Amino acid sequence: SSGPVSISDERDGPPSRDPFNPFTAAFRRDPYPFYRRIRALDPVHWSFVGVWMVTRHADILRILKDPARFSSQLSLWDRYQSNPKFRSLTGEPTPCAAVSEQMMIFRDPPSQTRLRRLVQQAFSPRVVQTMRPWIESYVDRLLDEAERDFSRGHIDIIGDLAWPLPVGVISEMLGVPQADRDFIRLLSRRFAPAFAPMTPGPAMDAANEACAQFVAYFRDLAQERRKCLGPDLLSALLVAEDTGDRLTQAEVISNCFLLFFAGHETTVNLIGNGVNALLRNRDQFERLQKDPGLVPNAIEELLRYDSPFQIVYRNAVETVEIGGRTIQKGEQIFVFLGSANRDEEIYPRPDVLDVTRQGISPLPHVGFGHGIHFCLGAALGRLEAHAALSALLRRYPRLDIVDSVPQWGDNILLRGLRALPVKL
């Protein structure tokens, strides 16, 4: 069940004899041996928490390619109507549910198609590319600042770079004033656990409060923009039009939140997990130093090797067979992208980080998902990771890890480090 369960640093979730239990401290430290084992043992696995857990690349592609049978619609989620995550005692949607219901990521066609088309216009690759010089200079500014404060003897890749970068970028794009960015960043941080499985009650309360504050903030900002449209993404979303169709104000705000949130809770971990993997496989870091032209390929390999976005959710719209198991209509599925990306059936030596690995750029790793929900921000995420990695390689040839034990956070959906202190 999805009742409140306290999961903190070293504590495990509910005890279980399930051969695949992702709610343990050992799993959070290193999920990959667990994935490997369940792929061999029972790749479409009925979990003790009452959902299907799918771990093989082939089965996962089948699911992601078939949105008609495997829905993303939030309202179909198992126990949605009675889940305290989404419904208050009086049956009202919680702030998290109200906001999330309007996000394209939690919708199916035709409504997802419509939202995506309208947002895509304002968020085109052309718009993203114009950000390149700004992003590159922002990375250098962040690193200059971190160096100035080098009295600690190290900089923190997460706190000093990977975390402020995407927040700064998406705030700049949306036109969030400088003075408000820390506040918005905090709200987004508090929202992050809302969609992780087994989020404890107090974290859920904080997520709901953050959501309500975010909506109130963006409602005011949107009102100001309507009076005086600017060159920013928020203004563009307010007037985006497709054959007479427009986004409603609630849709603009929800999907702003999605861009904001999806844009940084993932990018922070692409950079953080990426630098961590490269420094723990020093030959790969040095390989990139010798040949910075490999950075784009390395980014695809890092998305595969330690995926920032480990799990996506789907719901069976009808009874369907997958990998020899029968999934009943209405049952929920956890799609383990992080496992697909280590599948030995697809990738030779899947547990080896190889920045020269061929044939995975830009697919078939599923780090950005696959099919109609394929990450809308992939180009921006790649651009930010490229700017960050290139700057680190250029500036710090002797970059090295300080902590021998990586400090993983407890969100199993958005896998990432709490901190990554490095010597320059």
User: Which residues of this chain interact with ligand HEM, rule CB under 6 A?
Assistant: 72, 104-105, 112, 116, 170, 258-259, 262-263, 266-267, 270, 308-309, 312, 337, 367-369, 373, 375-377, 380-381
Amino acid (one-letter) located at 303: L
Cβ count within 10 A of residue 133: 10
Q: Give me the residue label for tokens 């992208």.
A: 337
User: Residue 333: what are its φ and ψ, rounded to 5°?
Assistant: -125, 130
The residue of the chain with the least Cβ separation from ligand HEM equals 377
Separation between Cα atoms, residue 19 and residue 137, nearest integer Å: 48
Q: Which residues on adjacent β-strands are paired with residue 408? A: 417
Cα 157 to Cα 271: distance, rounded to the nearest angstrom = 8
**Closer to ligand HEM by Cβ: residue 48 or 63:** 63
CB 160 within 8 A of CB 142: yes
Given the complex with ligand HEM, which of 21 and 375 has the nearer CB atom? 375
In terms of CB distance, is 45 or 370 closer to ligand HEM? 370
State how far the Cα of 408 lies from the Cα of 424, in Å rounded to an integer: 22
Cβ distance to ligand HEM smaller for residue 24 or 255? 255
Least distance from C-beta 109 to ligand HEM, angstroms?
10
Q: Least distance in Å: CB of 39 to ligand HEM?
A: 19
Q: Helices 164-174 & 267-280, crossing angle to 10 degrees?
A: 150
CB 172 within 8 A of CB 191: no
- Closest separation in Å from C-beta 73 to ligand HEM: 11
Given the complex with ligand HEM, which of 143 and 312 has the nearer CB atom?
312
Whose Cβ is closer to ligand HEM: residue 5's or residue 372's? 372
CB of 207 to ligand HEM, least distance (A): 19
Nearest to ligand HEM of 5, 317 (CB atom): 317
C-alpha R_g of the chain: 21
**Could you tell me which residues are beta bridge partners of residue 155?**
422
Backbone angles phi, psi at 211, to 5 degrees: -60, -45
Q: How far is the CB of 96 from ligand HEM (least distance, A)?
A: 17
- Cα 244 to Cα 148, 239, 247: the distances in Å are 52, 11, 10
Cβ distance to ligand HEM smaller for residue 34 or 309: 309
CB of 91 to ligand HEM, least distance (A): 27
CB of 130 to ligand HEM, least distance (A): 14
Contacts of 41 (CB under 8 A, 6+ apart): 19, 20
> Among residues 48 and 353, whose Cβ is nearest to ligand HEM?
353
Q: Where are the alpha helices (DSSP H) in 93-232?
A: 95-100, 111-122, 125-129, 132-148, 164-174, 181-191, 201-227
Contact (Cβ atoms closer than 8 angstroms) between residue 7 and residue 13? yes
Taking the complex as a whole, the smallest distance from the CB of residue 153 to ligand HEM amounts, in Å, to: 30
Q: Which is nearer to ligand HEM, 28 or 154 (CB)?
A: 28
The CB-of-283 to ligand HEM minimum distance in angstroms stands at 25
Report in angstroms how near the CB of residue 357 gets to ligand HEM at its nearest.
17
Residue type, 140: D
Tokens 């895509």 -> residue: 120
Question: 225: Cβ–Cβ under 8 A, 6 or more apart, which residues?
Answer: 175, 232, 234, 235, 238
CA separation for the pair 107, 373 (Å, rounded): 9
| Nearest CB to ligand HEM, comparing residues 16 and 390 | 390
Task: Tell me the closest approach of the beta carbon of residue 172 to ligand HEM, in angstroms.
Answer: 12
